[in-house]
Amino acid sequence: MRNKKMLLRIKKHWQLYLLLLPAVLYVAVFDYAPMYGLLGAFENFKPYLGYLRSEWVGFLHFERFFSTNAFAKIVPNTIKLSVYSLVAGFPIPIILALCLNYVPSVKFKKLVQNITYAPHFISVVVLVSMVNVFFGTNNGLINGIRDSLGMDRILFIGDPDIFRHLYVWSGVWQGMGWGSIIYISALSSVDPGLHESAIVDGASILQRIRYIDIPTIVPVIVTLLILDAGKVMSVGFDKVFLMQNSLNLSASEVIATYVYKRGLLNAEYGYSTAVGLFNSVINLILLITVNQISKKVSDIGIL
C-alpha cells in the first residue's frame, strides 16, 4: 500500500526526475563507481583480475606507506604548504576588503576591485610561467636586475625553501581580490544607522572598524576558516606539479603529486589508492573536527 503510494508520487513527478537524470547518472558513474575502486587499497590490485579476484592484502599498503621515507617527507610537506598558505593568504582579503570599504572615491574603489580580481582568471600554467618570468635563473627579471647590478644570480626556482614562498605568495597574489568579494559584500550589509550613530558619538574610523565592521564579518571569517582548516591535508595537484623540479623536490613533493607518480607513472595501483584513501580519510576527519569545534565555540557550523 505504502509502496504503491510512493510509486504514484514518483510517477506524478516523472518529468522532474527526467531533469535530474543526466546529473544522477554522471555522479553514479564518475563519483560513486570509483568509491568501489577503493577496495583496491586493500589488494594487490591487478587491472586484468579486477577488484573481486585480486589478492587481498589487508592493510599492507598502509603499513608500507607509513614506514617509508616518503611518508615522513610528503605529509609534513603537505601540511607546511597549506598551513603557510592559510596563514599568509587568509588575512589579506579581509584587509583588502576593510581597506576598500573606506575608500571614499567610488571610481577608485571599482578600479582596485576590477584589477585585483583579474589574476583569479589566469590559468595555473600561465601563473607558474609568470613565476618563472620573474624568478627564473637565467631569464628571470629579478636575476636580470641583479646581474646588471653586478650581483650573483640566485637559483630561486630550484631552492626547496624558496619554493614554499613562491608557491604561497603567488597564490596570495592570484587569490586576494577574489577572496575579498565575500567580505566586501558582508561589509555592505552593515546597517548604515550603526555607523551614523557611531559617528555622532564621535567614533573614529578605526573604532568603527573595530566595533562595527569586524563583529559583522566574524561569522563569515569563522565559516571560511572552518572550510580552509578542513583542507589542511589537501594541497591541490595542479600548481605544485607545475612548480616541481628535481632540485626543489624535497619541499615540493606533496601527497597529491606522490599519488600521481606512484599510481599513474609507476602503475602501483593498490599502493597509490591506499595513499589517496589515507589522505581523504584524514581530510574528512579534519573537516568534521573543526566543524564540531566551531559549533561549540561560536554556534557556527557548516555541516
Partner 1 sequence: MRIFGKDRVFVFLNYILATVFLLIALYPLYFVVIASFSSADAVVQGKVLLYPQGITLSGYKAMLEHTEIWSGYYYAILYTIVGTIINLICTIPAAYALSRRTLPFRWGINLYFMITMFLSGGLIPLYLLINRLKLVNTFTIMVLLGAVNVWNMIVCRTFFSTNIPEELIDAAKIDGSSELGIFFRIVLPLSKAILAVMILYFAVGHWNDYRTSLIYLRNTGKWPLQMVLRNLLLSTQMEIAQGNETSAVDQLLKIQSMKYGVIIASSFPVLVIYPFIQKYFVKGVMIGAVKG
Q: Does 293 bind partner 1 (CB under 8 A)?
A: no
What is the nearest approach in angstroms of partner 1 to the Cβ of residue 87?
18
Task: Kindly determine how many residues on this chain lie close enough to bind partner 1 according to the rule CB under 8 A.
Answer: 106
Work out the end-to-end distance of the chain between its first and last CA atoms, rounded to an integer number of angstroms: 36
Backbone angles phi, psi at 242, to 5 degrees: -70, -30
Q: Does 22 bind partner 1 (CB under 8 A)?
A: yes
Which residue is it, cell 607558474?
128
Contact present, 291 and 226 (Cβ < 8 Å):
yes
The closest alpha carbon to 176, from 252, 264, 111, 115, belongs to 115
Nearer to partner 1, 279 or 294 (CB): 279
Q: Does 235 bind partner 1 (CB under 8 A)?
A: no
Determine the residue type at 210: R
Nearer to partner 1, 86 or 142 (CB): 142
Cβ-based neighbour number of residue 277 at 10 Å: 19
Q: Does 3 bind partner 1 (CB under 8 A)?
A: no
Q: Which span (18-26, 53-61, 83-91, 210-218) binds partner 1, by CB under 8 A?
A: 18-26
Contact present, 273 and 41 (Cβ < 8 Å):
yes
Residue 251 is placed in which grid cell? 619541499
Restricted to residues 136-175, the positions that interact with partner 1 (CB under 8 A) are 136-139, 141-148, 155, 157-158, 173
Residue 19 is placed in which grid cell? 531533469
- The residue within the footprint of partner 1, chosen from 178, 190, 231, 301 (CB under 8 A), is 178
Instruction: From residue 175, give the alpha-carbon distance in Å to each of 78, 88, 115, 157, 254.
Output: 19, 11, 12, 21, 21
Find the helix or strand (DSSP H, E) in which 44 lies: strand 43-44
What is the nearest approach in angstroms of partner 1 to the Cβ of residue 73?
19
Q: Does 19 bind partner 1 (CB under 8 A)?
A: yes
The H helix count followed by the E strand count for the chain is 18, 2
Q: Does 116 bind partner 1 (CB under 8 A)?
A: yes
Q: What is the contact mask toward partner 1 in residues 31 to 70, using x (rule: CB under 8 A)?
A: xxxxxxxx-x------x-----------------------
Nearer to partner 1, 30 or 56 (CB): 30
What is the nearest approach in angstroms of partner 1 to the Cβ of residue 284?
6
Restricted to residues 270-289, the positions that interact with partner 1 (CB under 8 A) are 272-273, 276-277, 279-280, 284, 287
- Say what the alpha-carbon torsion angle 23, 25, 230, 64 is, to the nearest 10 degrees: -160
Q: Does 223 bind partner 1 (CB under 8 A)?
A: yes
Task: Tell me the chain's radius of gyration from C-alpha atoms.
Answer: 25
Q: Does 122 bind partner 1 (CB under 8 A)?
A: yes
- The residue within the footprint of partner 1, chosen from 75, 96, 166, 187 (CB under 8 A), is 96
Q: Does 82 bind partner 1 (CB under 8 A)?
A: no
What is the nearest approach in angstroms of partner 1 to the Cβ of residue 84?
19
What is the nearest approach in angstroms of partner 1 to the Cβ of residue 216?
14
- The residue within the footprint of partner 1, chosen from 104, 150, 152, 200 (CB under 8 A), is 104
CA 20 – CA 14 distance, rounded (Å)? 10
CA 303 – CA 285 distance, rounded (Å)? 13
